[in-house]
């Protein structure tokens, strides 16, 4: 068939997919530190935003721009980072991006420390951080796909997702603790983590895919991937975006209610929010081990995860005590963790190394915008007078609709062909 022809040509003109290599424990630790550092980008500032607004003498809307200034460039540049990584190499994009992320944090901290009116400079530094964040976690996933054989790939992708979840758990606690020192301490913390992580990735992690493929051949290969595997990839992309949209929308709604309804403040509120995220992180790790070398389990895992998320969302309006609400949110986190690792595995295992960066980073961009849109969407619905039953009922229907789409469009035999066959010949 015509759609099958460009892939072998691309593989023969580029270096082989290096999926036969393994990673040392130090290299694995360096890779796993990347998603942990990246998830702190916004989450660690959330507990400190009121203190920032007071210190800077700006409105809540203005101080919220510190989140927007990071999020927009990061989300927009993720696909570009993937294409550049396919062209020039993974680490040559990823390591400078991590350095830029850390440098932006240090510049923001320095502006707050030394300038009388630092707010405009903080916005500029946060934009710089966002530019750096666009080429990080997704390229760590890409490198995992490049360097590991199918039997180990899902397991390590599960570890990366677990590290991402651990960052979500730790970030509000870290932000609160650093805020006790001073409101701008989190900015310096970014540099203290990101720059050593960049150096560790450069020194310890092998390079992945070949670089320098002619652009015409590269885009012809992407077109062939879209023709042959577009429906399956769309199902995986949709799973990632919707899962995180629902999780973070529900968490933001619970966060708004935590103090007024349940009397939770500061550390207690952070610990409560950590319950569903911890469940998601642990389940991602378990799923990585369960999926290892078993491509036939990917679609059932996606469907079970989305089904659990729908069930949990449907229950939330009908449980009112704090314990029962946290149990429902825990099941939501478990459902999301169950769905994300197979989606990650399907995306990274669906194409050869020559185009893995672009395909994986587009997936990362969809995930990123799911996280960014979830809280305001849930907030707008609540502000418009939706009842909890209506809000969570629509959310549950969205999860079930996504599961239906995955069930209809996801074809493991076609999407995961490269995973089953292993690396292309040189």
Q: How many domains does one find in the chain? A: 1
Q: Would 338 be classed as within a structural domain?
A: yes
Does residue 420 carry a pLDDT above 50? Answer: no
Please write the tens of the pLDDT for every residue from 58-105: 887 787 788 878 888 888 888 888 888 887 888 888 999 999 999 999
pLDDT category of residue 179 using cuts at 50, 70 and 90: confident
Window from 5-14, 43-52, 257-266, 324-333 with minimum mean pLDDT: 5-14
Question: What's the whole-number average pLDDT of the chain?
Answer: 81
Please write the tens of the pLDDT for every residue from 184-217: 999 999 999 999 999 999 999 888 755 656 566 6
Q: What CATH number is associated with residue 104?
A: 1.20.1250.20
Query: Of the spans 152-161, 169-178, 390-399, which averages the highest pLDDT?
Result: 390-399
Torsion sign over Cα 385, 387, 388, 390: negative
Q: Would 413 be classed as within a structural domain?
A: yes
**Residue 361 structural domain:** 14-421
Q: Would 7 be classed as within a structural domain?
A: no
Residue 415 pLDDT = 60
Q: Would 9 be classed as within a structural domain?
A: no
**Quick one: average pLDDT of 150-161?**
78
Residue 95 pLDDT = 93
**Quick one: average pLDDT of 335-357?**
82
Please write the tens of the pLDDT for every residue from 116-127: 899 999 999 999
Residue 421 pLDDT = 39
Of 253 and 209, the structure prediction assigns the larger pLDDT to: 253
Does residue 423 carry a pLDDT above 70? Answer: no
Q: Would 20 be classed as within a structural domain?
A: yes
Window from 271-275, 340-344, 407-411 with minimum mean pLDDT: 407-411
**Quick one: average pLDDT of 332-351?**
86
Does residue 128 carry a pLDDT above 60? Answer: yes
Window from 150-159, 311-320, 402-411 with minimum mean pLDDT: 150-159
Distance CA 285, CA 154 (A): 9
Q: Would 2 be classed as within a structural domain?
A: no
pLDDT category of residue 2 using cuts at 50, 70 and 90: very low
Does residue 136 carry a pLDDT above 70? Answer: yes
What percentage of the chain has pLDDT greater than the value 90? 29
Q: Would 1 be classed as within a structural domain?
A: no
Residue 71 pLDDT = 80
**Quick one: average pLDDT of 293-312?**
89
Of 38 and 18, the structure prediction assigns the larger pLDDT to: 38
pLDDT category of residue 362 using cuts at 50, 70 and 90: confident
Q: Would 394 be classed as within a structural domain?
A: yes
Distance CA 344, CA 336 (A): 12
Residue 8 pLDDT = 38
Provide Rg for the chain, Cα atoms: 21
């Amino acid at each position: 068939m015509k759609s099958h022809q460009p892939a072998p040509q691309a593989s023969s003109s580029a270096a082989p997919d290096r999926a036969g290599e393994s990673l040392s424990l130090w290299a694995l630790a360096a890779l796993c530190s990347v998603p942990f550092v990246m998830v702190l980008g916004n989450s660690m500032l959330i507990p400190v935003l009121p203190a920032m607004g007071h210190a800077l003498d700006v409105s809540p809307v203005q101080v919220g721009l510190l989140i927007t200034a990071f999020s927009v460039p990061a989300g927009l540049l993720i696909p570009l980072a993937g294409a550049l990584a396919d062209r020039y190499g993974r680490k040559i994009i990823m390591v400078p991006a991590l350095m830029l992320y850390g440098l932006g944090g240090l510049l923001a901290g320095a502006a707050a420390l030394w300038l009388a009116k630092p707010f405009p400079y903080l916005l500029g530094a946060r934009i710089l951080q966002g530019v750096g964040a666009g080429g990080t976690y997704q390229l760590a996933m890409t490198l995992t796909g490049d360097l590991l054989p199918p039997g180990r790939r899902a397991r390590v992708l599960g570890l990366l997702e677990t590290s991402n979840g651990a960052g979500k758990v730790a970030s509000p606690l870290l932000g609160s603790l650093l805020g006790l020192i001073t409101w701008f301490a989190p900015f310096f913390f970014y540099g203290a983590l990101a720059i050593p992580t960049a150096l560790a990735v450069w020194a310890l992690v092998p390079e992945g895919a070949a670089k320098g493929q002619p652009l015409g051949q590269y885009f012809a290969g992407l077109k062939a991937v879209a023709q042959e595997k577009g429906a399956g990839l769309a199902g995986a992309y949709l799973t990632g975006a919707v899962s995180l949209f629902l999780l973070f929308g529900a968490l933001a709604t619970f966060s708004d209610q935590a103090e007024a309804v349940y009397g939770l403040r500061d550390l207690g509120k952070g610990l409560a929010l950590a319950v569903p995220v911890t469940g998601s992180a642990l389940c991602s790790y378990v799923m990585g081990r369960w999926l290892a070398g078993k491509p036939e389990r990917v679609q059932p895992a996606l469907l079970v995860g989305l089904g659990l998320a729908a069930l949990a969302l449907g229950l939330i309006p009908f449980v009112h005590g704090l314990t029962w609400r946290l149990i429902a949110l825990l099941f939501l986190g478990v459902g999301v963790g169950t769905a994300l690792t197979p989606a990650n595995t399907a995306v990274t295992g669906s194409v050869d190394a020559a185009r893995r960066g672009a395909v994986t980073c587009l997936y990362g961009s969809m995930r990123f915008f799911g996280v960014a849109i979830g809280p305001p969407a849930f907030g707008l619905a609540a502000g418009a007078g939706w009842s909890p039953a209506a809000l969570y009922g629509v959310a549950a229907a969205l999860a079930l609709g996504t599961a239906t789409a995955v069930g209809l469009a996801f074809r493991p035999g076609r999407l995961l062909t490269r995973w089953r066959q292993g690396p292309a010949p040189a």
